Chains A and B, each alone.
Chain A
């Protein structure tokens, strides 16, 4: 059987079965340089023909199998949480601080804007919400009557994840898109708090927001910082080419986006089940918000390895 045909059948086995026998692997490695020789001969006889194309296709597949870096999903996830995310967050700590500060300033600006000119709230809230607040009702009051928690959670986390990921992606516009999203969210938050404060409803709004808001707002700020880094890689690539800098920044931003998306699912569940439910008193809501926030910060700082914890625990028990 010619080399390419023998390799063709081996390839199918190797590509479909990750636990192929060592004999098949050895045989493939033996045939790999022989196929290279066949390609060289075929190119001499029929340059660029179907035969060469087919041989090159088989060769590219074998090359990929031989040189592809090993993949281990579990190890990749462990590395993501233990190594990558803490390093990325540490790298962009100043950017994170700047974006966080910008968000706070936008919130204060939204507050001041609505306090000095209450009509401006029409930019942030629908007429129904405005009328409700003016009548002493918060729009979050009847949420559970209108939509059950499960549907509410699903809708909320889908929307939040989409906002967070968009704030990363629009960073491509030299960071301007991210600035817009962060400013808009800050202005809305400040504006709505100012508006509800005018009708003595700010406390109730805080009670609604606190359980899920700590992580939700932090995640949006974090994604904003990652988006801003994406824009900065294009504006100021440093010693790298713009393409290289952009690729590195995109890799980091996506890792941050994935972790944020994971936590936003939890925040959505809290917003659907805890936040609108009057059965939860304020201290419980604060506890949930702070505890979930601490878990978020702990993850960003690098989750300790469970096996290491177990070893430490067993050592302390032994002593």
Chain B
């Protein structure tokens, strides 16, 4: 199973885009599903505030007044069903859920997909969603080389991880590069950046190893804050 797609360039320096697996894909989908469901429900709620309880009776009955069908039920259905195709086109292969999950759709050549490819991808969603909860699509992502669902196979698209846009050189000092070297510097910075996400024991172990490696004593230090401060000192 290949885990990246290669962008070949005339400069001879090729770049790889890391393919997102079923986990990242499902995570993005679940976020999007909640957003579109909440948006549709919010629209219906506005309808209830305007028309009262007739909206529920009309919506369920299917013919509870044309204005309710036209202004409440139809737009709510459109929000739910057209969320993916419209946002993917407008956001050039992304959606709020994909942004949050750090993934985006690209063509197999690594380009932003065109409208045609995105429409194909969403049309085949009907099949991917079979029999329930996208079971078929999810199953296919587990067994295809690039973790793609049937819609992606048809459209020639792949879901890849976003690249970090943050400039890792920002805030880098000449003194710290001279002291630690660029590679070690990156390690320390990454640990500092991810400090709050890591469990106390893991970050203490990592910090102690790095600090000891660079001649900073950690014996007797029990406070996480002190370790964090010493790591920051290394970067000065």
Contacts and interface: CB of A to CB of B under 8 A. Distances in A.
A32 interface: yes
A71 B123 contact: no
B11 A54 contact: no
A154 B69 contact: yes
B98 to A, nearest CB: 16
Interface bin, chain B: 35 or more
B168 interface: yes
A160 B127 CA distance: 18
Interface in A165-218: 165-166, 168-170, 172-173
Nearest to A84: B116
A306 B11 CA distance: 44
A247 interface: yes
**Which of A148, A170, A247, A255 has the most C-beta atoms of chain B within 10 angstroms of its own C-beta?**
A247
Contact of B7 (A51, A58, A63, A247): A63
B13 A170 contact: no
A254 B126 CA distance: 13
Contacts of A240: none
Nearest to B125: A169
Interface residues of A, number: 55
Interface in A124-161: 146-148, 150-151, 154-155, 158
Nearest to A67: B111
B164 A54 contact: yes
Contact of A40 (B13, B62, B110, B167): B13
Nearest to B15: A56
A251 B12 CA distance: 32
B168 A169 contact: no
B70 A169 contact: no
A40 B15 CA distance: 11
B127 A170 contact: yes
A254 B120 contact: yes
Contacts of A173: 127
B167 A254 contact: no
A45 B120 contact: no
A57 B167 CA distance: 11
A63 B7 CA distance: 9
B158 to A, nearest CB: 12
B15 A33 contact: no
A39 B147 CA distance: 28
Across the A-B interface, the 9 shortest Cβ-Cβ residue pairs: A57-B163, A250-B154, A151-B66, A36-B11, A36-B13, A169-B126, A50-B168, A148-B66, A151-B69
24 contacts: A2-B169, A5-B167, A36-B12, A46-B182, A51-B169, A53-B163, A54-B164, A54-B167, A59-B13, A60-B15, A68-B112, A154-B69, A165-B123, A165-B126, A169-B123, A169-B124, A169-B127, A243-B153, A246-B154, A250-B123, A250-B154, A251-B116, A253-B123, A254-B119
Interface of B: 7, 9, 11-13, 15-17, 62-63, 66, 69-70, 74, 77, 110-112, 114-116, 119-120, 123-124, 126-127, 150, 153-156, 162-169, 182-183, 186, 189-190
